[in-house]
Amino acid sequence: MKKFLFLVVAVFLTMSFVSVARAELKIGVVDVYRVLNESEEGKKAVGQLQNMLEERQKILEEKQKKIQTLKDELEKKRSVLSEDARKAKEDEIDRLGRELQRTAADYQMELQKKQNEITQSMFKEIKQLINEYAQKEGYSLIIEKVEQIIIFTTPEVDITDKIISLYNQKTSQQKGKK
């Protein structure tokens, strides 16, 4: 009987500690990727990158048209051009093709660099905002939602929409001060 009573008391104490620990532990989950893409600042950044991409694409298309024009011209006049003139045209087409490839690679690197700069800057602000929010709301742990790591969360612990809203408020206030 004493063993049974001891077991009941032990189970009761264990349950008490678990409920106390659970009450003190507040966990949240944030999908930072969504914050980056769905916030007003994120949408603005995507628009800037899209405009930059479109401008670069137009330049590349113009260079491609010039190369195609030279190729067409060479094909039409191939039979009447001298060997040296034909070779010079082919060399020019090759040079312009290499230049086009270098320019495209440079543009791609430039866009990637700009995207990284924007993302890093935004991520720094978002991380600071999450830390402030966590402290204010008494969170013990905030986890970044990554599909390969977090398989399931309940909507109650997902604070992504709150962070997007706070980030939008913060960035609009900063714009108002400028």
Which helix or strand (DSSP H or E) is residue 149 part of?
Answer: none
From first to last of its 178 residues, the chain has per-residue pLDDT tens of 555 444 344 445 555 554 445 557 899 999 999 999 999 999 999 999 999 999 999 999 999 999 999 999 988 988 888 889 889 999 999 999 999 999 999 999 999 999 999 999 999 999 999 999 999 999 999 999 887 777 778 888 899 999 999 999 988 887 666 5
User: How is residue 39 annotated by DSSP?
Assistant: S
Token pair listed for 129: 């905002």
Q: How many CB atoms lie within 10 A of CB 21?
A: 9
pTM of full prediction above 0.85: no
Token pair listed for 9: 């008391």
Q: Where are the alpha helices (DSSP H) in 138-177?
A: 160-177
